[in-house]
Amino acid sequence: MGKATIYVVDDEQDILENYTVLLSDDYTVLPFNDPEAFIKYFEQPSPVIPDLVITDLKMPKIDGLQMIKSVQNHQIFFPFILLSGHLDKDSVMEAVEAGVFRLLEKPTNYDTLIETIDQLLVEHESYKVRKEIRAITSQLRELYTSIRMIMTQYIPEDIIERLVVDAPGGSVKAKMSFENLLENLESRLERLLESEKVIDEMRSNKARSQ
């Protein structure tokens, strides 16, 4: 796996250069000193979607959060880190709605920044995998529905209902219909998502209390 691609946005040139130099050993870094230039970049054909964006919150003309939401209007999403000395409640709520993110006090030390970047990259990759699992599950259900419609033309309904497969379990395998198996898969996925949501909320509450 190659280096993760990180875009850094800050209107203060010296800070932008410092972050670019510090991060370039471990990541592929593309700097922007103008939030509007960052937005225009994603309006061109086939822009490279970053693995993560680091942006200052307070910038001239448009702030970092507005900049990210503007790009999201083009259905382009990525995790991001907001750098700010102070963030009001409304901005926090906007950031939560915008997706996977972290807030760091500006200036922040290198170790904290690297640790935060790595955490976000792992979380976002997990999110993408869960999204793919959802899509595959939905496709399986659509495929099963289509096959069942075809089968009912040639096989009695009661026989179809008795078709079973080995369900996942312990040493003793239970029998389960295809439809039950899909429902079981969807249920387990929902429990996984709910558990991760609870864990994320606990982490956020802990971070705010520190």
Q: Are 64 and 87 in contact (CB under 8 A)?
A: no
Q: Taking the model in full, what pTM does it have?
A: 0.65
Number of domains in the chain: 2
Q: Are 181 and 137 in contact (CB under 8 A)?
A: no
The distance of Cα 195 from the centroid of its chain, to the nearest Å, equals: 16
| Region of poorest pLDDT, from 27-36, 67-76, 79-88 | 79-88
- Please check whether residues 21 and 108 belong to one and the same domain: yes
Please state, in angstroms and rounded to a whole number, the distance separating the CA atoms of residues 148 and 155.
10
- Please check whether residues 22 and 71 belong to one and the same domain: yes
- Please check whether residues 19 and 117 belong to one and the same domain: yes
- Please check whether residues 145 and 93 belong to one and the same domain: no
Highest mean pLDDT (candidates 2-16, 98-112, 115-129, 196-210)? 2-16
- Please check whether residues 82 and 112 belong to one and the same domain: yes
- Please check whether residues 10 and 59 belong to one and the same domain: yes
% the chain with pLDDT above 90: 32
Q: Are 140 and 182 in contact (CB under 8 A)?
A: yes
Q: Where are the alpha helices (DSSP H) in 26-88?
A: 35-41, 64-72
pLDDT of residue 18: 92
The C-alpha torsion from 138 through 144 and 149 to 150, rounded to 10°, is 130
User: What is the number of other CB atoms lying within 10 angstroms of the CB of residue 23?
Assistant: 21
Q: Domain limits at 156?
A: 130-209
The more confidently predicted of residues 138 and 35 is 35
pLDDT of residue 210: 47
Q: What are residue 89's phi and psi, to 5 degrees?
A: -60, -40
| b/e per residue 152-162 (b: at least 16 CB within 10 A) | eeeeeeeebee
Mean pLDDT of the 163-172 span = 50
- Please check whether residues 19 and 83 belong to one and the same domain: yes
Please state, in angstroms and rounded to a whole number, the distance separating the CA atoms of residues 120 and 114.
10
- Please check whether residues 108 and 193 belong to one and the same domain: no
| Region of poorest pLDDT, from 22-36, 108-122, 133-147, 181-195 | 181-195
Please state, in angstroms and rounded to a whole number, the distance separating the CA atoms of residues 80 and 67.
11
- Please check whether residues 22 and 121 belong to one and the same domain: yes
Q: Are 80 and 57 in contact (CB under 8 A)?
A: no
pLDDT tens column, 96-147: 777 768 888 887 888 899 999 988 888 877 777 777 777 777 777 777 777 7
| Max intra-chain CA distance, the chain | 74
CATH number of the domain at 93, please.
Answer: 3.40.50.2300
| 125, 140, 171 - which closes a domain | 125
| 103, 125, 147 - which closes a domain | 125
- Please check whether residues 107 and 155 belong to one and the same domain: no
- Please check whether residues 76 and 135 belong to one and the same domain: no
The C-alpha torsion from 157 through 148 and 184 to 137, rounded to 10°, is -170
Q: Spell out where 73-153 has E strands.
A: 80-84, 101-105
- Please check whether residues 31 and 107 belong to one and the same domain: yes
| 78, 99, 125 - which closes a domain | 125
Minimal CA–CA distance to 95: which of 111, 107, 84? 84
| b/e per residue 39-60 (b: at least 16 CB within 10 A) | beebeeeeeeebbbbbbbbebe
